[in-house]
Chain A
């Protein structure tokens, strides 16, 4: 196992409560590549917000909880229609915004994660739709 993955796993163990979350698979693909039993909280600055299908993505630069080093994360969201119905807007994020997310990271250690909850700088909170599952940490 590469050292980078070891560090990520250690960080996750420290910052996340490993709780089982039940994730119904009713999306265009499986969310199984994500470590859905692990949830972690990141606060970072948005560098990109791509509103498209099958899924919406945004990218953030966020300091690692253990090392303090900034990492670049790809955050996966649901489809545009699910997010619209969950109250999102296509233009509610822009580069430079500070956001806090609760996410489940990829199992393979790549810096990407499935969104569970998004909090904007003004305090508004959003889910990522039923298929992605709810945040179980705060």
Chain B
């Protein structure tokens, strides 16, 4: 069933000392995909940037560059988007083929990029060993993907603070804990280690309030999962954090090799301030 959402993603930075100049790049515009249309999008930055430009990166992700030249102690970036998501029917023929047939080598050169290690996703031997348990020879692709998704979901604990920005995929494997971004990286690394092409996907998940409760505005969060290339060249999204395939609850912002390619917001500031606080609020509201 086609679903429509109104998404608001707000990030506020507060600095104890003045920031003179601030440059930023945001990946906050939902991209158009075979199952998704971005109906409307706007980006608001406070204070008013002296330069704000929309851009498309090497992977076709929309993004925006901004430059603030007014001194400030608070920076607010809000992305507002309306999207329409249509679930994609899986072709059982493609997903039922042995997973080895989904390797892009020799048939889809551009997708080979997503089989290679990237700065945040390396593939040392333990990753390969972890993947091998799901990717047994000749197993149907969908079967293997669902198995890996389920294993990450059951074998790892969702836990803030278990990992840091500098944690590697191996750290996550050892600590058996992390957040969605870590699980996505682990899934991506596992797929790549067996020669499959796999993307890191940044986006949102529409949550349902517990029965009998109001949906809490802003209680949602940005999310991350993975997508693997199928034998027919399509991409199959799966979410090890929630043990599910990506369906109409999932809104794609951007994809890349890993988190660093598509971080929702990054930037450079000029300040003598030593600390800052960051508050993120995401609201994914159903429009229908």
A binds B: no
